[in-house]
Amino acid sequence: MILKKGFRWQSAGSNVLYAANIFILFLLIFNGRVVLPSWLQVLGRMHPLLLHFPIVLILVAGVLTFIRLREPAAESWKRQLMAILLLAGALSAAVTVIMGLFLSKEEGYNGSGILQWHKWSGVGICWVASGLYWLSQSAVPKLWLLKGGAAFTALLLVITGHFGADITHGENFVLAPVTPAGKGPQVPFDQALVYEHLVKPVLQEKCMNCHNAGKAKGELAMELPEQLLKGGKSGKLFVAGKPEVSLLLERLHMPLDAKKHMPPAGKPQLTEEETALLYYWVKSGADFKTKVAALPAHDSLRLLAAAMLHPAPAAAPVYNFAAADEKLVQKLNNNYRVIYPIALNAAPLIVNCYNKDQFNSKSIEELLPLKKQIIEIHLQKMPVQDADLKVLSQFEQLRVLNLSFTNLKGQTLSALTALRHLESLSLSGTGVTLAQLQALKTAPALKELYLWNTALSAADLQQAQTIFKQATVIKGFVDDGKQPLKLNQPQLLNTSAVFAGQMMLMLKHPIRGVAIRYTTDGSAPDSMNSPVFKDSLLLEGNTTIRAIACKQGWYASDPVQYSFSKSAYTPDSVVLLTQPNGTYSGNGAKTLTDKQKGGMDQGNGKWLGYTGGNMETMLVFKKAVPVKTISVGILRNINGYIFPPTKVEVWGGTDAQHLKLLKRIIPAAGKKDDPAANMDIECSFPVTTVSCVKLILQPIDKLPVWHPGKGGHGWVFADEVLFN
């Protein structure tokens, strides 16, 4: 009866085991898509508790499979017991696996290699144990299979347990106390000693096992500097400064199979880096006290050390405070004061203020309800007053405070010492003095202090650095004046190069305190004697101005040159009687009277270009004007096939039907080496009253024989026509 009852339980258990295995299979297949409700997380977290059951149950059942009792009744009873233990073990394994799978859904389990190994070996235990149970229930259980299975499960248990422990306690937990600390000593670069922190760890790891005071092979111990200097049976270890003849390096460099090679074959060998380190250490004199930071900047040993001294990874800061009420944060957030968490769902807040017109003391005070969460406040360029520091000092969690270019005078700096976590403080561009800064000496966590662009002199800044030993004083970029820069050229503000009566010429330079010096006689301006340009210059006739920019501490700019022409009368309308080449049609007829000079580039749309035929244009005044000279601007660019016209004719009269020739000019022909230039061709004649003027320019028909395009048509380019 008892057996019967037990059997029923067993059957139910077997069914549950079956169901649980299907469930596990399901979880494994849909692993990526499972989302856990939080109450299941609680179950998951019981995984480390429960896992001890399958270990014990399955191991005991496994041991029982190897025991055979002589008494048949006892044997039968043992089998029964074994089956129940196996079932219980497999069941608890299944539950443990399910909980483990739940646990792995929590944050922090990133699906790394170890986790995968643990997961699959754990699942393996569950399945193999279930299989064993069912096997044991079969009519004629194969004993060898049961035994083998039990042994295999035991192995899986060890493996799973090992990986599980790695996950929980970290890798190498068990052996950590006896294995040397990971590569790279954990000392900051500026405090590291070459021997103590670089050389010694190598010797310790690779040599001292055999060469220590207790076990000095070859009569050599390497634990202490004295021992290293003393050497061993074969003589001194090294000759300082001469690695080539040092025994230490000789032994290291021997072929691995050589009898005297060190470390002996089969023992851990030095890496290339480590060998190089010993080489450079001996080469540099094998000193025991040298600091890494004291080595010259590009010293090989220093560079090697820098590579080996992995700076300890900065631990992610831990914030032990609760998040603020989200509604409150939202309420205090506005267009000019932005409050945001450092990341999604993180408690610490950062505050930025923008637009100085919108800022006042209230902008900070209103934030006080968030003082337990705010870790950074950025107030650069806001009109922060000294009195505001008292309020700021209440933000107890503050790490970063940027007050650069604010209105601070510095009288109340001492208030900031209340900020026990303050790491970075920017006071650049404020009125602080060295004396006031003394008050910050007691700020406990200060690591960065920005002090550039203040009244502090270079010497003051130096002293500030000695006051704040634990912090870095950021002094900012200051030009040392050793490599002066060349100023850029003055800029012309006038847009028109042609004027009727008078013109105010305006030049400016973007840099404060620059003097513009100029000449109008065509000579090169100099930075000592040429007159200084003041705001504007009144022009009354054709003028060419050359100007440079000068300032103390800078090289003077390259000269800039501008020409201005006077045109007493502007035609009311212009008609082109012959059309320019389509590519160079400028702004049509207006090109000739738009008061813009064409410049040096014929393709800029400010020139009219003609080739293969004359340029003929009619300029008309509504009211007749007395004219004495008419000039036309042309371009010369011999290499570009642009020549001066071969003939210029000016016809004038009171109407288009009655024109007479006022002037004909044959300009000097273009020569091979003539530089590219803007020129005015001026036609003077006795004063004539005209209302119609016809202008004819004849381009060169056949290019001269010395020109690459000899025999072909040349070009003429025209722009402004001036009347005086």
Partner 1 sequence: MKNEFIEHHLNMNRRKFLSRLSLGVGSLALGSLLIPDIFGKGGMEEAPFIPGVPHFAPKAKRIIYLFQNGAPSQLESFDYKPKLREMMGQELPASIRGGQRLTGMTSGQSSFPLVGSHYDFKQYGESRAWISDLFPHTAKVVDDICIVRSMFTEAINHDPALTFFQTGAQQGNRASFGSWMSYGLGSENKNLPAFCVLLSRGKGNGQGVYSKLWSNGFLESIHQGVQFSSGESPVLYLNNPDGIDMANRRQMLDQLAAMNDQSYKDFGDPEINTKIQQYEMAYRMQTAVPELTDLSKESDDIIKLYGPDCLVPGTFAANCLLSRKLSESGVRFIQLYHQGWDQHGNLPNEMAGQAKDVDRASAALITDLKQRGLLDETLVIWGGEFGRTNFCQGKMTADNYGRDHHPRCFSIWMAGGGVKPGIVYGETDEFGYNIVKDPVHVHDFHATVLHLMGLDHEKLTFKHQGRRYRLTDVAGKVIPGLMA
617 in contact with partner 1 (CB under 8 A): no
Which position among 336, 431, 570, 659 is part of the footprint of partner 1 (CB under 8 A)?
336
Select from 130, 114, 125, 117 the least CA-distant residue to 151: 125
284 in contact with partner 1 (CB under 8 A): no
Angle at 248 between CA 247 and CA 253, to 5 degrees: 95
Judging by DSSP bridges, how do beta strands 537-539 and 349-353 pair with one another? unpaired
Which position among 241, 510, 709, 711 is part of the footprint of partner 1 (CB under 8 A)?
510
Phi, psi at 143, each rounded to 5°: -65, -40
35 in contact with partner 1 (CB under 8 A): yes
338 in contact with partner 1 (CB under 8 A): yes
Residues 274/279/282/285 CA torsion (nearest 10 deg):
-110
Long-range contacts of 27-35, Cβ-Cβ distance < 8 Å, separation of 24 or more: 27/98, 27/101, 28/101, 28/123, 31/101, 34/105, 35/105
Closer Cβ to partner 1, 14 or 688, answer by number: 14
637 in contact with partner 1 (CB under 8 A): no
315 in contact with partner 1 (CB under 8 A): no
H or E stretch at 301: helix 300-308
Angstrom CA distances, 389 to 364, 392, 661, 666, stand at: 10, 5, 85, 82
79 in contact with partner 1 (CB under 8 A): no
> Order of strands, edge to edge, in the sheet holding 337-341?
337-341, 349-353, 374-378, 400-402, 424-426, 448-450, 472-474
Residue 425, both tokens: 């403080």
Which position among 486, 664, 671, 710 is part of the footprint of partner 1 (CB under 8 A)?
486
476 in contact with partner 1 (CB under 8 A): yes
Which position among 176, 256, 387, 478 is part of the footprint of partner 1 (CB under 8 A)?
478
294 in contact with partner 1 (CB under 8 A): no
Residue 676: DSSP 8-state: P
**Would you call 81 helix, strand, or coil by DSSP?**
helix
511 in contact with partner 1 (CB under 8 A): yes
What are the helix (H) ranges across 324-418?
326-332, 361-365, 388-392
Contact 396, 371 (CB under 8 A): yes
Rounded distance, CA 591 to CA 720, Å?
Answer: 7
Rounded distance, CA 89 to CA 92, Å?
Answer: 5
Residues in the chain: 724
1 in contact with partner 1 (CB under 8 A): no
306 in contact with partner 1 (CB under 8 A): yes
**Would you call 489 helix, strand, or coil by DSSP?**
coil
Closer Cβ to partner 1, 36 or 568, answer by number: 36
Q: Using CB under 8 A, which of the segments 71-79, 217-225, 480-488, 702-710 binds partner 1?
A: 480-488
Contact 713, 701 (CB under 8 A): yes
Which position among 71, 226, 357, 521 is part of the footprint of partner 1 (CB under 8 A)?
357
Rounded distance, CA 301 to CA 284, Å?
Answer: 8
Closer Cβ to partner 1, 325 or 701, answer by number: 325
Q: Phi/psi class of residue 104: alpha, beta or left (left: φ > 0; alpha: ψ in -120 to 50)?
A: alpha
**Which is it for the CA torsion 120, 123, 129, 135, positive or negative?**
negative
Amino acid at position 709, single letter = G
Residues of span 439-468 touching partner 1 by CB under 8 A: 448, 450, 452-453
363 in contact with partner 1 (CB under 8 A): no
Judging by DSSP bridges, how do beta strands 715-723 and 424-426 pair with one another? unpaired
What are the helix (H) ranges across 66-173?
72-104, 113-137, 143-169
Residue 333, both tokens: 């957030």
Q: How far is the CB of 366 from partner 1 (least distance, A)?
A: 17
Closer Cβ to partner 1, 448 or 682, answer by number: 448
Q: How far is the CB of 370 from partner 1 (least distance, A)?
A: 18
Residue 423, both tokens: 């790491």
Angstrom CA distances, 52 to 46, 161, 173, stand at: 11, 10, 19
693 in contact with partner 1 (CB under 8 A): no
Which position among 2, 3, 67, 139 is part of the footprint of partner 1 (CB under 8 A)?
139
Q: Residues 368-407 vs partner 1: string with x where CB under 8 A?
A: ------------x-------------------x-x-x---
**Would you call 163 helix, strand, or coil by DSSP?**
helix
354 in contact with partner 1 (CB under 8 A): yes
Which position among 67, 73, 343, 435 is part of the footprint of partner 1 (CB under 8 A)?
343
Phi, psi at 431, each rounded to 5°: -90, 20
Q: How far is the CB of 555 from partner 1 (least distance, A)?
A: 10
Q: Using CB under 8 A, which of the segments 197-205, 267-275, 485-493, 571-579 binds partner 1?
A: 485-493
472 in contact with partner 1 (CB under 8 A): no
Which position among 18, 66, 77, 321 is part of the footprint of partner 1 (CB under 8 A)?
18
Contact 711, 648 (CB under 8 A): no
Closer Cβ to partner 1, 40 or 568, answer by number: 40
603 in contact with partner 1 (CB under 8 A): no
Q: How far is the CB of 232 from partner 1 (least distance, A)?
A: 37
Closer Cβ to partner 1, 166 or 423, answer by number: 423
Residue 684, both tokens: 């003077």
Residue 662, both tokens: 């006022």
Closer Cβ to partner 1, 77 or 340, answer by number: 340
Closer Cβ to partner 1, 33 or 259, answer by number: 33
Which position among 1, 2, 140, 435 is part of the footprint of partner 1 (CB under 8 A)?
140
Q: At what angle do helices 143-169 and 113-137 cross, to 10 degrees?
A: 150
H or E stretch at 13: helix 2-29
Please list, in sequence order, all residues whose beta carbon lies within 8 angstroms of the beta carbon of residue 568, skipping any fewer than 6 positions away. 500, 501, 625, 723, 724
Closer Cβ to partner 1, 165 or 556, answer by number: 556
Q: How far is the CB of 335 from partner 1 (least distance, A)?
A: 4
319 in contact with partner 1 (CB under 8 A): no
Q: How many residues belong to the site for partner 1 (CB under 8 A)?
A: 64
512 in contact with partner 1 (CB under 8 A): yes
Closer Cβ to partner 1, 323 or 575, answer by number: 323
Q: Using CB under 8 A, which of the segments 74-82, 85-93, 250-258, 421-429 binds partner 1?
A: 421-429
Select from 697, 709, 619 the least CA-distant residue to 659: 619
Which position among 220, 432, 487, 697 is part of the footprint of partner 1 (CB under 8 A)?
487
Convert 423-432 to b/e letters by CB count within 10 Å (16 or more is b): bbbbbbbbeb
Q: Using CB under 8 A, which of the segments 208-216, 507-515, 628-636, 670-678 binds partner 1?
A: 507-515
Q: How far is the CB of 474 from partner 1 (least distance, A)?
A: 6
Q: How far is the CB of 296 from partner 1 (least distance, A)?
A: 12
335 in contact with partner 1 (CB under 8 A): yes
Residues that bind partner 1 (CB under 8 A): 15-16, 18-20, 22-23, 26-27, 30, 33-37, 40, 138-140, 297-298, 303, 306, 316, 335-336, 338, 340-344, 346, 352, 354-357, 380, 400, 402, 404, 424, 426, 428, 448, 450, 452-453, 474, 476-479, 485-488, 491, 510-512, 553-554
